[in-house]
Amino acid sequence: VISAPLSTSDIYPTLLAAAGIPLPSAQAKLDGENILPLLTDPQLQRQSPIFFQSPIRGVKYEADSSQLQYAMSVQRFKLFSGDAGRSWQLYDLQDDPAESRDVSTDFPDIVEAMRTELLNWTKETRRDAQRHLAP
């Protein structure tokens, strides 16, 4: 059993590693990571955060395909914005895996650090996403 969070973006680098194939030299920066070490040693933690963005689908927020929702999970915390970055919720996945309690006011420094890292990720992986994200 692996307790570390995983993402579908981990599949590509993991399959390459399992097949002994190096990343192509022209490969853009990947979102995922090779999780083979986690499969052989479940005590290990993933080396990089999991980032997510998609059009706003309209569950809690009004659907708007021209705006993006964002999330980032790292270790025990998940940062989420369902309104294109105008507001942020922080969840403690260790104490609240159902993500029912926003703890952003308890950890403002973590919110800001994760928000900054998420903004940097959008710049690195999808330059046009920046135009959707509120300052």
pLDDT tens series, the chain, 135 aa = 677 788 888 999 999 999 999 888 777 777 788 999 988 887 888 888 998 888 877 666 666 677 788 999 998 999 999 888 899 999 999 999 999 999 999 999 999 999 999 988 887 776 544 455 555
Task: Spell out where the chain has E strands.
Answer: 50-56, 64-74, 77-81, 89-92
Tokens of 133: 């994200």
Tokens of 84: 């294109």
Cα gap 89→102, rounded to integer Å: 5
Q: Model-level pTM?
A: 0.76
